[in-house]
Amino acid sequence: MPTISKKGQLMPQSPIRKLVPFAEQAVKNGKSIYYLNIGQPDIKTPEIALQAIKDSNIEVLAYSRSEGSEIYRQKISAYYKKHDINVFHDDIIVTTGGSEALLFAFGSIMDVDDEVIIPEPFYANYNGFSTASGVKIVPVISKIEDNFALPPIEEFEKLITPKTKAILICNPGNPTGYLYSKEEIQKLATIVKKHDLFLIADEVYREFTYDGNTHYSIMQEEGLDQYAIIIDSVSKRYSMCGARIGCLVSKNKSVIQTALKFAQARLSPPTLAQIASEAALDTPQSYFDDVIEEYVERRNTLISELQKIDGVKVANPKGAFYCIVELPVKNSDNFAQWLLEHFEVDNETIMVAPAAGFYSTPGVGLNQIRIAYVLNKKRLIKSVHILKEALKVYKD
């Protein structure tokens, strides 16, 4: 009988999606579910993006250029310049979501068995991308007690070997909501220049910063042109997760030329979705002002309600729309499944993402979950009430 590859066997399940069969069965059994497990905003997609698709008079839905439409890339460049990121259209490759951008980055700068250092907890699919690329993640642990701040630079330097090719951060962070300061970015800039490493920043949540804090991009830092790679996406910024449009950005011409070869091999990013994404760049600032105000209120509501539960610890996010919650349970995988299979309040339950999948260090995060506050305040309050009642009766 044919066998599955070792790579396929090692490929991790998504902690965000692996409980879907249990959720589907719960719905079939008549339960209602509050979905806190996945970063699918309920915020409306900008009308200008949807209208662009409706107004399209395309007769043949053809391939686009492998690097993406030039007009679209020029508009992306103009968007970045508004954010004090001075890049040009030929520094940009449009990809099928931020996921493909990260795969292109890994493929362009790392060989099999090379290493990338990532502060954990990190976006769970980084584990999958590294496995698919044959790359080893070397984690440096950030702690809930420190609100998931950047670990000391000394901790990074201890981990650097001849196989180390890059440091990867998500800023603001998924799953922690942590926003790296300018000073923290400068510390990372110093270390990558000292050791000739790439600095990859997943900046898809750039707009979502709170409490008067502002986002500082790695490409705003002087002297990083040859070291910096940005991963970006329209998914969260414009509530367009289904468009599957992202981009890889770098002023390092060798990186762009190499990534383009990967882009050519998959032919082109989605043509119709680029039309919507190009139009989305004209979204007025008032849209983001309203969205950010809504997320701040949701965050404040969620954190306030969680802090009322005995034995629960929660980090206070400065950006994005996630938080890590530490629970008085031994194994959050079992708890999350139990919530779907065996628990309800007024025939309602919640779906959360077990946090162990956001770490690569074995045994870490077992008593944590990630919550995405992508529901309105009333539904968040009800969700936390369900969590509180569940913890009263759950037995490990």
How sure is the predictor about 13, in pLDDT bands with cuts at 50, 70 and 90? confident
> Per-residue pLDDT for 15 more than 80?
no
**CA 6 centroid distance within chain:** 26
**pLDDT over 90 for what percent of the chain?**
96
pLDDT of residue 275: 97
Tokens linked to 229: 């790679």
Q: List Cα–Cα distances, 315 to 71, 180, 255, 326, 368, in angstroms.
A: 41, 14, 36, 9, 11
Each as own residue / partner, the long-range contacts of residues 196-199 (CB below 8 Å, 24 or more positions apart, any chain) are 197/160, 197/164, 197/165, 197/166, 197/167, 197/227, 198/105, 198/109, 198/165, 198/166, 198/167, 198/227, 198/228, 198/229, 198/255, 199/166, 199/167, 199/169, 199/224, 199/227, 199/228, 199/229
Task: Write down how long the chain is.
Answer: 396
Dihedral of alpha carbons 278, 283, 289, 290, sign: negative
Which of the 8 DSSP states describes residue 189? H
Tokens linked to 268: 């082109």
pLDDT of residue 209: 97
> Per-residue pLDDT for 346 more than 90?
yes
- Closest of 110, 135, 137 to residue 123, by C-alpha: 137
Beta-sheet pairing, 322-326 with 313-314? antiparallel
> Per-residue pLDDT for 4 more than 80?
yes
Q: What does the alpha-carbon distance between residue 261 and residue 66 come to, in Å, rounded to a whole number?
A: 9
pLDDT of residue 37: 94
Beta-sheet pairing, 368-372 with 353-354? antiparallel
Residue 12 CB neighbour total at 10 angstroms: 14
Tokens linked to 384: 């936390």
pLDDT of residue 18: 84
Domain 61-280 listed as CATH 3.20.20.370: no
Dihedral of alpha carbons 364, 144, 213, 209, sign: positive
Tokens linked to 143: 């702690």
List the strands of the sheet with 92-95, edge to edge. 92-95, 246-249, 228-233, 198-202, 164-170, 115-120, 136-141
Q: What angle do CA 132, 110, 120 make, to 5 degrees?
A: 70
Range list for CATH 3.40.640.10 in the chain: 61-280
Average of pLDDT values for 217-231? 98
Range list for CATH 3.90.1150.10 in the chain: 6-44+286-393
Average of pLDDT values for 223-229? 98
pLDDT of residue 212: 95
Summarised one tens digit per residue, pLDDT across range 289-311 is 999 999 999 999 999 999 999 99
How sure is the predictor about 396, in pLDDT bands with cuts at 50, 70 and 90? confident
> Per-residue pLDDT for 121 more than 80?
yes
How sure is the predictor about 139, in pLDDT bands with cuts at 50, 70 and 90? very high
Write out the H or E segment, with its range, that includes residue 193: helix 182-195
pLDDT of residue 299: 97
Angle between helices 97-109 and 253-265 (to 10 degrees): 120
* CATH node for 6-44+286-393: 3.90.1150.10
Secondary structure, 3-state, 48-81: HHHHHHHCCCCCCCCCCCCCCCHHHHHHHHHHHH
pLDDT of residue 308: 96
Q: What does the alpha-carbon distance between residue 138 and residue 390 come to, in Å, rounded to a whole number?
A: 35
List residues bridging with 138 in a β-sheet. Answer: 117
Summarised one tens digit per residue, pLDDT across range 125-136 is 999 999 999 999
